[in-house]
Amino acid sequence: DTGVSQNPRHKITKRGQNVTFRCDPISEHNRLYWYRQTLGQGPEFLTYFQNEAQLEKSRLLSDRFSAERPKGSFSTLEIQRTEQGDSAMYLCASSGLGQGTRTFFGQGTRLTVV
Amino acid sequence: GDSVTQMEGPVTLSEEAFLTINCTYTATGYPSLFWYVQYPGEGLQLLLKATKADDKGSNKGFEATYRKETTSFHLEKGSVQVSDSAVYFCALTPYTNAGKSTFGDGTTLTVKP
């Protein structure tokens, strides 16, 4: 088990382009979370999946953002028509079910929109 | 909604000094409380946690006690080392969803030899 894996680690894109990030959670984890972290702030919750079902979306997740988790395994986060304000670190995390379960974070994908 | 407030940084200490990083929270119900650490160039790592009132989480010489009456979870270490230099985040998760966390803005700690 190599933990939560995110790809790519860095992405530079031009404003208006679409980008897609991938997250591979710990294999036995049912829940998968996406967070966004901007410089000088803590991570902010975006959305989460339990297996393949997307159960909650933050109001931070505009219509340009979409996340999927087909087959309840890996997940993708797509941003359409990127804006400079989308520049941030995008973190993925996974956990099992239950109150005592621990959440593991990936190292994140740093997006820079130029 | 839920919120977490951390003392503003950055914090600079000399090696072997005592560390306190304040954290207070607002939440409904009975959240679990966490401290995460982020070393330069690395991802978030769980440092310690407490799941109910009066619990004390501890790890690597760090401690924090869940104080429901003051809604606080202050991080302490008796003698910091240069290797403790990192960003520390206080966070809470609601009882009903162990991974949907609300984070503070982080406190950058620099320890000088």
SS3 state at B20: strand
A7 strand-pairing partners? A22
Q: What value does the mean pLDDT take over residues B57-82?
A: 97
Please report, for residues A31, A80, A86, B80, the alpha-carbon distance to residue A92 in angstroms, rounded to integers and kept in the order given.
11, 19, 16, 30
Q: Could you report the per-residue pLDDT of B80-109, keeping only the tens digit for each?
A: 999 999 999 999 988 766 668 899 999 999
Averaged over B70-87, what is the pLDDT?
Answer: 97
| B1 contacts chain A (CB < 8 A) | no
Q: What is the pLDDT of residues A41-73, one digit of tens each?
A: 999 999 999 999 999 899 888 899 999 999 889
Minimal Cα–Cα distance from B35 to chain A, Å? 12
Q: What is the pLDDT of residue B99?
A: 65
Mean pLDDT of A9-29: 96
Q: Which of B45, B93, B104 sits opposite A42 (nearest CB)?
A: B104
